[in-house]
C-alpha cells in the first residue's frame, strides 16, 4: 500500500510537471506566434544619402531647396548639408485592405538643425485591387518623381533638377487622396486626386518664416504602356505668407495707389496654380525622360516655368548621364511703385524705400540654365556612388537659385558645381 501511494504520488508529480511544462511551451509558442504575426504585420525599411558639394561661386550659396539656410560656396567651400539625409519607414498591414505608413526624415532644416520630421503618415484602404484611398500626410503629387525625390538611390542623378523641382519645394499634403487604376488593353491609366492643406517654414535673414497652403486640390493622370510613361499634373491652392504683410500694409497707407500695388502683389490667400507634363522611356539598358512645369501665382512670388530633359546609358554597374535644365521668370522683375512726385520729402523718402524693397523682391526671379554630366556606380548591393558636374548660366540681373547672395556677387554670371554622393537603402 505505501509503495502504491508513493508511486501514485510520483506519477501525480510528474503529471503536474508535464502539465506545467506544456503550459510554458504553449505560452512560448503563443509569444513566438505573436512575434511572427507582428513581424508579418510590420515591415521596416530606410534610405539615406551622404553627399559633398563644392561651388565655384564664393559670394552666394548653392543648395538644393530654398528651405535650407546655407550650402556650398559662401558659407563653406564644401558642404555636406546640401544632399545628406537619413530616413526610416514603417509599413503596417493590418488587414488585406487596411494598411498604414510612417516615414520620418532627418535632413538639414530651415533652422540649420537635423531634427527629424514626419514626411508621410497615413492610413490606406484598398477598396478593390484598382481603387484605394488614403487619409493623413501623403506625398504631394506634383512631379514624376514625387514619391522618390528624397530617395537618391531610386534616381539616376545626384538630385532632381532644381530648375523644375524648385518650382514647388513643398513635398507633402495633410488631407485625403484617392487613386484609381484602369487597364486599357496593354496599357494602364492611373488617376489620382488629392485634397488638403500644408504648412511650410523657410529661413529668413532674421530667423525663419512660415507659409500656409489651404484649399489644396490636385489632379494627376499617369499613362503607362510598355517602357513608356506619360504624366499630366494640375493643382491649385491658396497660399498665405505673413512675412510680406508689413511691406504691403505700409503700401496701403499711401491711399488708392498703394492699395492697388498691395492687392497686386500681396500673398494673402493668393490662388496659386501649377501645371506639369512629364514623359519617360526606359527599356532597361538606357533611358530618356523629361518634365515641364509652370507655376502661376499673380503675386510677388511671381509666375515661373522650368523644364529638363535627361538621358543615360547603363553599362553594367555604371550609368553615365547628361541633363539639360532651364528656368525662367514669366512675370515682371520690376515695378514703378508709388509715384514720388508731389509727395512731401518725408513721405517721398518712405515711398522710395518701399519701392526699393518691392523691386528688390521682384528682382530675385530665377532665370538660369544648367548643363549636367555625371555617372552612377552601383558598387555594391543597395548602394550607389554618384559623381556629377554642373555648369549653370544665370540670366541678366539674376542670381538664379543661389541663396545668401552677398554684396560682392555679380548677377548674370556662371557657376560650376561638383557633387559626390553615396546613396543607399536598407
pLDDT of residue 25: 37
Would residue 109 be called left, alpha or beta, if left means φ above 0 and alpha means ψ between -120 and 50 degrees? Answer: beta
Answer whether 265's CB lies under 8 Å from 248's CB.
yes
pLDDT of residue 333: 82
| DSSP helix/strand/coil, 168 | coil
Q: What is the dihedral of CA 393, 399, 400, 403, to 10 degrees?
A: 130
| DSSP helix/strand/coil, 18 | helix
The helix or strand, by DSSP H or E, that contains position 164, with its residue range, turns out to be helix 162-165
The CATH homologous superfamily for domain 45-425 is Porin (2.40.160.10)
Phi first, then psi: give them for residue 168, nearest 5 degrees.
-140, 100
**Using CA of residue 55, residue 57, residue 58, residue 59, what is the dihedral sign?**
negative
Whole-number Å distance between alpha carbons of 287 and 339: 55
pLDDT of residue 39: 60
Q: Which residues pair with 207 in a beta bridge?
A: 204
How do residues 150-191 score in pLDDT, each as one tens digit? 999 999 999 999 999 999 978 899 999 999 999 999 999 999
Answer whether 239's CB lies under 8 Å from 213's CB.
yes
pLDDT of residue 37: 54
Answer whether 68's CB lies under 8 Å from 169's CB.
no
The helix or strand, by DSSP H or E, that contains position 32, with its residue range, turns out to be helix 2-41
Over the range 367-384, which residues count as b (16 or more CB within 10 Å of their CB) and which as e?
A: bbbbebebbbbbeeeeeb
pLDDT of residue 36: 58
pLDDT of residue 27: 46
The helix or strand, by DSSP H or E, that contains position 370, with its residue range, turns out to be strand 368-380
In total, the chain counts a number of residues equal to 426
For 118, residues 6+ apart whose C-beta sits below 8 A from its C-beta are 102, 103, 104, 137
Whole-number Å distance between alpha carbons of 45 and 25: 33
How do residues 122-155 score in pLDDT, each as one tens digit? 999 999 999 999 999 999 999 999 999 999 999 9
| Residue ranges for the chain with pLDDT beneath 50 | 1-33
How do residues 45-88 score in pLDDT, each as one tens digit? 999 999 999 999 999 999 999 999 999 999 999 999 999 999 99
Phi first, then psi: give them for residue 154, nearest 5 degrees.
-85, -10
| DSSP helix/strand/coil, 10 | helix
**Using CA of residue 162, residue 163, residue 165, residue 167, what is the dihedral sign?**
positive
**Cell numbers of 218, please?**
490636385
Answer whether 240's CB lies under 8 Å from 269's CB.
yes
Whole-number Å distance between alpha carbons of 278 and 232: 6
Domain ranges of the chain: 45-425
Query: Quick one: which of 171, 216, 172 has its CA closest to 64?
Result: 171
What does the DSSP assignment read for 239-295? EE-GGGHHHHHHHHTTHHHHHHHHHHH--SSEEEEEEEEEEEE--SSEEEEEEEEEE
**Cell numbers of 410, please?**
555679380
- In whole numbers, what is the pLDDT of the chain averaged over residues? 91
Amino acid at each position: 500500500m505505501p509503495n502504491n501511494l508513493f508511486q501514485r504520488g510520483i506519477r501525480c508529480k510528474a503529471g503536474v510537471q508535464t502539465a506545467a511544462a506544456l503550459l510554458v511551451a504553449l505560452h512560448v509558442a503563443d509569444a513566438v506566434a505573436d512575434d511572427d504575426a507582428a513581424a508579418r504585420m510590420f515591415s521596416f525599411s530606410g534610405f539615406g544619402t551622404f553627399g559633398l558639394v563644392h561651388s565655384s561661386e564664393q559670394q552666394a550659396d548653392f543648395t538644393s531647396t530654398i528651405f535650407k539656410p546655407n550650402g556650398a560656396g559662401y558659407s563653406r567651400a564644401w558642404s555636406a548639408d546640401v544632399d545628406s539625409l537619413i530616413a526610416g519607414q514603417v509599413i503596417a498591414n493590418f488587414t488585406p485592405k487596411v494598411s498604414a505608413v510612417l516615414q520620418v526624415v532627418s535632413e538639414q532644416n530651415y533652422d540649420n538643425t537635423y531634427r527629424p520630421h514626419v514626411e508621410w503618415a497615413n492610413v490606406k484602404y484598398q477598396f478593390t485591387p484598382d481603387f484605394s484611398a488614403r487619409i493623413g500626410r501623403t506625398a504631394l503629387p506634383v512631379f514624376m518623381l514625387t514619391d522618390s525625390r528624397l530617395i537618391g538611390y531610386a534616381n539616376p542623378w545626384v538630385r532632381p533638377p532644381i530648375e523644375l523641382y524648385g518650382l514647388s519645394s513643398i513635398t507633402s499634403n495633410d488631407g485625403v487622396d484617392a487613386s484609381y487604376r484602369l487597364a486599357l488593353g496593354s496599357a494602364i491609366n492611373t488617376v489620382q486626386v488629392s485634397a488638403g492643406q500644408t504648412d511650410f517654414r523657410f529661413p529668413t535673414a532674421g530667423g525663419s518664416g512660415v507659409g500656409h497652403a489651404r484649399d489644396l486640390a490636385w489632379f494627376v493622370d499617369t499613362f503607362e504602356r510598355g517602357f513608356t510613361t506619360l504624366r499630366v499634373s494640375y493643382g491649385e491652392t491658396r497660399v498665405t505668407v505673413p512675412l510680406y504683410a508689413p511691406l504691403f500694409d505700409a503700401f496701403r497707407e499711401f491711399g488708392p495707389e498703394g492699395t492697388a500695388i498691395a492687392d497686386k502683389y500681396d500673398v494673402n490667400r493668393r490662388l496659386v496654380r501649377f501645371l506639369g507634363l512629364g514623359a519617360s522611356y526606359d527599356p532597361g539598358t538606357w533611358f530618356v525622360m523629361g518634365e515641364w512645369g509652370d507655376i502661376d501665382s499673380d503675386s510677388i512670388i511671381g509666375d515661373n516655368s522650368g523644364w529638363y530633359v535627361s538621358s543615360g546609358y547603363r553599362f553594367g554597374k555604371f550609368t553615365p548621364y547628361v541633363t539639360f535644365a532651364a528656368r525662367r521668370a514669366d512675370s515682371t522683375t520690376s515695378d514703378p511703385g508709388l509715384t514720388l512726385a508731389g509727395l512731401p520729402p518725408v513721405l517721398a523718402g518712405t515711398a522710395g524705400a518701399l519701392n526699393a524693397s518691392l523691386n528688390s523682391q521682384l528682382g530675385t526671379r530665377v532665370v538660369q540654365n544648367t548643363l549636367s554630366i555625371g555617372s552612377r556606380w552601383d558598387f555594391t548591393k543597395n548602394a550607389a556612388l554618384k559623381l556629377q558636374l554642373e555648369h549653370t548660366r544665370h540670366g541678366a540681373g539674376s542670381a538664379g537659385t543661389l541663396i545668401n547672395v552677398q554684396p560682392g556677387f555679380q548677377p548674370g554670371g556662371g557657376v560650376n558645381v561638383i557633387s559626390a554622393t553615396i546613396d543607399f537603402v536598407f
